[in-house]
Structure 1
Amino acid sequence: MPARDLSVLLMVVLIVAMLIIPLPSWLLSVLIIINISLALLVLLTSMNMREPLQFSIFPSLLLLLTLFRLGLNVSTTRSILSKGEAGGVVETFGTFVVGGNVVVGFVVFLILIIIQFVVITKGAERVSEVAARFTLDAMPGKQMSIDADLNAGMISEQQARERREKVAQEADFYGAMDGASKFVKGDAIAGIIIVVINMLFGMVVGVVQQGLDVAEAAQRYTLLTVGDGIVSQIPALLISTATGIVVTRAASDSNLGADIMRQLFAFPKMLYVTAGTIFLLGLLTPINDVLTIPIAGLLALGGYHFSAKPMKEEEMSVEEQEEAEMDQMKSPESVVNLLSVDPIEFEFGYALIPLADANQGGDLLDRIVMIRRQLALELGLVIPVVRIRDNIQLQPNEYRLKIKGDEVARGELLLDHYLAMSPGVEDDSIEGIDTVEPAFGLPAKWISEDMKEQAEMLGYTVVDPPSVVSTHITEVLKAHAHELLGRQETKQLVDHLKESYPILVEEVTPTPLSIGDVQKVLAKLLKEKVSIRNLPVIFETLADFARMTSDTDVLTEYVRQALARQITSQYVVAGEPLRVITLSGKVEKAIAEGVHQTEHGNYLSLDPAVSQAIIEAVASQLEQHSLQNQTPILLCSPAVRMYVRQLTERYFPNVPVLSYNELEANVEVQSVGMVDIE
């Protein structure tokens, strides 16, 4: 155990010993000096902290110091009553500090008690209670503010996590301070009781047991008691003051001393007013001018000093600012910062600002939060923060979505209209502005609020603008999810999995697969809209087959087969057969023969005429099914599935390609067409 930890444990053991074992006078003196030193150290530390959480251990430390001080009181009381002495420090405070006068000492002690109990302790207790209450009440608002800044791209995920932890720590700290302040209050009450006990029983012991007369016993034991009371109340007063400073300290960029000097003398002219008042006080009253004139002079000199300093700073500020800006522009860091590209950006014209402005009823930030949560559940991917900003280069009602700096989607919104999509048959009575629904490319109309009810009665799907844009963002992010999953994001997913499945992760990465290899497999799954949320199953499969092959295409096929239940449920509708388009044996044979194996992996190389014929045959089958409003699925053998996908994804990116091994055995499959070539 480190020596620092051991010293704290020894201190607690010493406190227990003081409560039980009589200590020699010289050791009591040493412990009293240590008590005063610790109290002073705590006070100075509280003055130099910038925010309360920098001294987060204070509530527990306050309890230990209070217990230490009470243990000293017990030991000194035992020594006073049993031996008639309590060490040199107590006697010094009882004779030298108060001049040996019992009445003066007792009055000084009472003043210390009143200052601590009535003023400082009472105020610190009240501030602690109010701070704890307001901190707890403000927690939901602070959490929402952090989420809003995160969605706006103003802070990163790491910064948001740190700010959330800080909010929780603040609540815990002020709650603990509320309870700890009660210790200070109890300590003050205990000090009064202990002094009364020492005085009364000290006189009894002196007269009855030691044979002293009443006056001598009163003089001796009262001086010792008052000395003991003062020597314990001075550290208690310091600790009470530190408690008040900690609970009243607001977050700042500097310590208490610097803040006081900067803010107290922020208005130098007030020093002149104060100096004039003190000067007139000496001039118009019997107060000696020798006292008032020097003090007034010092205040006036301070006012001149603090007035001249800002003027010099103001004269230099413009030139220094220009020089600083020039240095910033010349510095390499300013150029490097320009290289940063946000993973996702959402830009909009000035007419769409109410979408994102909470003061105008906009809830786009909240919708972005829900989209990120939805995609995390559906795809198993943590979507990066979406940076939201207005762009005057866009049309007023226009918006666009960029991924890694490149535009991937664009749309237009009319905030005072609703988007209406027909059920299949247009109705001429519904008037509006013709447009295209941005997420799925369906024909639609922007209609006014007056037409909304009528459109809904006629079977139109009517959507408000915020829902339109959030749906569009969701679909675009789904389509480009594989681009958002890089090696860094993959490493985060792997680290998260490692917390629960350390052995499984160690068997897969860094050998035989690197993070880059794992990322390629996961990205291929996402590209075909297969969720990677079930990472344990994916890694189990990689652990089984990664030592057999390092080809990420082949490994992806093994993973897809392991996720057969998930893939099946993705496309099967309960109570209905799975309608598929199959490939003829001739087509599968042609594709299998076109696969070429190299040391860098396999690739498909078909005769252009054969490729064109297959594409046309697939297009013909899909066209027939599109007229029947059915979602077509291409079904083929496992050996050629990934090559069929490679062949068709350029022309039919939204058509799923499945193999027989990716379907559950109990699924009813209905072939509604076949792709064949002459």
Structure 2
Amino acid sequence: MKAKDLIILVGIIGIVLMMVIPIPTLLLDILLILNISLAMMILLIAMNTREALDFSIFPAILLVTTLFRLALNVSTTRNILAYAEAGEVVRTFGSWVGGGQIAIGFIVFLILVVVQFIVITKGSERVAEVAARFTLDAMPGKQMSIDADLNAGLINEAQAKERRSKIEREADFYGAMDGASKFVKGDAIASIIILLINLIGGFIIGMAVHNMDFAEALETYSILTIGDGLVSQIPALLISTAAGLIVTRAASDGNMAEDLTGQLLKYPKLLYIVAGTVAMLGLFTPIGVMRTFPFAALLAFGAWRMQKSLSRQLQEEITMEEEQQIEEVRSPESVISLLQVDPIEFEFGYGLIPLADTQQGGDLLDRIIMIRRQCALEMGLVVPVIRIRDNIQLRPNEYVMKIKGNTVARGELLMNHYLAMSPGFEDDSIVGIETTEPAFGLPALWIDDSMKEQAELSGYTVVDPPSVVATHLTEIIKRHAHELLGRQETKTLIDNVRESYPALVDELIPSILSVGDIQKVLAKLLKEKVSIRDLVTIFETLADHGQYTKDTDVLTEYVRQALSRQITQQFSPNGEMLQVITVGPALEKKIAESVQQTEHGSYISLDPVSTQQIYKKLNEQVGRQIQSGQQPLVLASPTIRMYLRQIVERTMQDVPVISYSELEPNVEVQSVGVVNL
């Protein structure tokens, strides 16, 4: 056994022996001073701890100090009743605190007991009880949080073990404090009982045993009783305060002194209000300016110094932050941040700033929110955040749209004008600046406000500049949607389906297809402007056919056929007759014979002459459809659809190619042209 362990063991046994063995008054004085010093040390330690677990031995100390204090009470009571003497410490406290008047000392003692018992001890007991209950209730959630961080790789096994140990120690500590606070409560009650015993028993013994008269017995035993009560209650009050500080200690990075100076004095301007209030008390009340003005001046001076100190500290933080930014720019690692590429960017010249400035009535940001909602509903795609910025290198009224850092579209707006598009015939009375509608490339005019009403009466479609930008941006997003859907975005869509259909997703991924395979299928659908919102049907189809083939082109065809109702309604929303361009037998045979099969999939290999003939014939039919005001639509057999699409998308990307299997049986189809060799 170590020496310090032996000292603690002997000390605890000595405390118990004090209750039955008489102690000389000199030793009793030393032990009373030790009790006061120990209480002050415990209070100071409690004030300087940053969290409760830094003083985790406090419940045991609370029990030992309470036992020590009660042992001293028993020893002083024995000496008071037996010898009418309890040492200089007790006598000094009894006579000095009351100023020679017994009644005052008695009242002071009662106040200390009331403050400790009703205010501090009662509050500490309640706080400890609630803290213990909430700590125990929060343990499962904290344990799950630690397990989640460990599984995510945010912490290692050793850190997780340390956190779990801390949670357990917190629960044990607050549970122990809940029980230890009862010791302080019982000590306060015992002090009152001991006071009555000393006072009443002292009168009887003083007059019966020591032959004192009533006045002498009253004075002697009152002083000794009050001194004994005060010398035990002052340390008890200090330790009760320490217990209250420990259990009410909230999460903080500093000790109590740092928190007081950092939080209580955080707002120096409020001290000016306090100083003014104190000064007004001196002016308008009988207190007088001589008592209030010096204190008000001190408060105002302190506020000024604190405000100056905060300003200097703020300036130092700004300077330090600027220096840190300069160091980061100079460091080689700072180049890494420049590699980040935004998925979608919208840049505009300074003349178009009112479009995005809400203070000038711009609603571009609200329109972009609606565009993202529209794309989610129509295409099933979660559009990434669109970065909006002004660019002084552009012309004042020019804007550009970028996909992954590359310019894909540009346009020019005239603010305070309207874009008017003719209904198919020109009205010479409509005068404006000729231009081209940026989204669809249609001829249009920029007209001023005075011409707007006349253009609308003439059948023109009139839109304002924000609507032009919104329409253009929507079409660009739809046209490049397949580029915006990467593996990470696909993983997000998969996780969303997993919440409602876990069995489907678990069967499909990763045993049948990988995330990359699914991403390729979804991108091919988006490239042909087929909505992927019905992911459940898409995943069901992939799970059925993915067991037999991994060719994403073939899987895409199976998915398109499963989405036949959706594709049919896309081109015939009201069930009207579909006017299509069909593929002749000779061309179908030529395409089927040109398909090359490889281990990585199949592709079409046509000679240049046949390819040019197909382009020529197809252009003629598509042009005829556009002139008649119909949307061009090519219909082919399921076996060659994807190969014909590969040919068509090279020159006519916006012309849809569908197969017979992608149309519902009840839809009527009319062939308005045939493409053949």
Per-residue deviation, 1:342? 1.4
CA distance, structure 1, for counterparts of residue 498 and residue 387 of structure 2: 30
Distance 1:419 1:594, change over 3 A: same
Code of the aligned partner of 2:492: Q
Distance 1:434 1:92, change over 3 A: farther
Aligned to 2:496: 496
Contact 1:568 1:662 in 2 (8 A): yes
Match of 2:372, SS state, is helix
Aligned to 1:643: 643
One of 105, 108, 112 as aligned partner of 1:104: 108
CA distance, structure 2, for counterparts of residue 222 and residue 484 of structure 1: 80
Code of the aligned partner of 2:241: I
Distance 1:37 1:387, change over 3 A: farther
Q: How many residues align?
A: 494
Aligned to 1:565: 565
One of 235, 238, 247 as aligned partner of 2:245: 238
Per-residue deviation, 1:390? 0.8
Per-residue deviation, 1:331? 2.7
Per-residue CA shift, 1:85-137, capped at 9, x if unaligned? Answer: 985457879999995755324334666799989xxxxxxxxxxxxxxxxxxxx
Distance 1:618 1:254, change over 3 A: farther
Code of the aligned partner of 1:44: R
Per-residue CA shift, 1:519-538, capped at 9, x if unaligned? Answer: 11111011001111222221
From the CA coordinates, give the structure whose radius of gyration is larger: 2
Residue 431, structure 1, aligned to residue 431, structure 2: yes
CA distance, structure 2, for counterparts of residue 661 and residue 407 of structure 1: 37
Per-residue deviation, 1:259? 9.8
Aligned to 2:378: 378
Per-residue deviation, 1:395? 0.2
Structure 1 segment 476-495 matched on structure 2, within 5 A: 476-495=476-495
Residue 530, structure 1, aligned to residue 530, structure 2: yes
Contact 2:587 2:676 in 1 (8 A): yes
Match of 1:495, SS state, is helix
Per-residue CA shift, 1:132-186, capped at 9, x if unaligned? Answer: xxxxxxxxxxxxxxxxxxxxxxxxxxxxxxxxxxxxxxxxxxxxxxxxxxxxxxx
Code of the aligned partner of 2:375: L
Match of 2:532, SS state, is coil
Unpaired runs of 5+ residues, structure 1, are 1-24, 26-32, 49-68, 70-75, 77-84, 118-186, 268-295
Per-residue deviation, 1:41? 8.3
Per-residue deviation, 1:457? 2.6
Per-residue deviation, 1:350? 0.7
Contact 2:43 2:238 in 1 (8 A): no
Code of the aligned partner of 1:418: Y
Per-residue deviation, 1:501? 2.9
Match of 2:434, SS state, is strand
Structure 1 segment 217-236 matched on structure 2, within 5 A: 230=237, 234=241
Contact 2:50 2:254 in 1 (8 A): no
Aligned to 1:539: 539
Per-residue CA shift, 1:570-603, capped at 9, x if unaligned? Answer: 1113141122221121221111111111222111
**TM-score of the superposition, structure 1-length normalised?**
0.61
Per-residue CA shift, 1:30-80, capped at 9, x if unaligned? Answer: xxx9xx99994898349x9xxxxxxxxxxxxxxxxxxxx9xxxxxx9xxxx
Distance 1:237 1:544, change over 3 A: same
CA distance, structure 2, for counterparts of residue 353 and residue 451 of structure 1: 25
Structure 1 segment 266-415 matched on structure 2, within 5 A: 325=326, 328-415=328-415
Match of 1:526, SS state, is helix
Structure 1 segment 199-210 matched on structure 2, within 5 A: none
Out of 225-234 and 543-552, give the one that drifted further.
Answer: 225-234
CA distance, structure 1, for counterparts of residue 254 and residue 577 of structure 2: 68
Per-residue CA shift, 1:201-231, capped at 9, x if unaligned? Answer: 9799989xx9999x999x7999899789947
Contact 2:423 2:459 in 1 (8 A): yes
Aligned to 1:658: 658
Contact 1:344 1:404 in 2 (8 A): yes
Structure 1 segment 592-631 matched on structure 2, within 5 A: 592-631=592-631
Match of 1:573, SS state, is coil
Match of 1:338, SS state, is helix
Match of 1:44, SS state, is coil
Code of the aligned partner of 1:238: L
Code of the aligned partner of 1:586: A
Per-residue deviation, 1:339? 2.1
Match of 1:655, SS state, is coil
Aligned to 1:556: 556
Distance 1:378 1:265, change over 3 A: closer
Code of the aligned partner of 1:592: A
Code of the aligned partner of 1:504: L
Aligned to 2:518: 518
Contact 2:577 2:667 in 1 (8 A): yes
Contact 1:347 1:399 in 2 (8 A): yes
Per-residue deviation, 1:425? 2.4
Contact 1:494 1:505 in 2 (8 A): yes
Residue 456, structure 1, aligned to residue 473, structure 2: no
Per-residue deviation, 1:675? 1.9
Per-residue CA shift, 1:604-632, capped at 9, x if unaligned? Answer: 11232222222222222212211221112
Contact 1:383 1:484 in 2 (8 A): yes
Structure 1 segment 76-91 matched on structure 2, within 5 A: 87-88=67-68
Aligned to 2:50: 44
Match of 1:411, SS state, is strand
Code of the aligned partner of 1:421: M
Match of 2:582, SS state, is strand
Per-residue deviation, 1:512? 3.5
Per-residue deviation, 1:492? 2.3
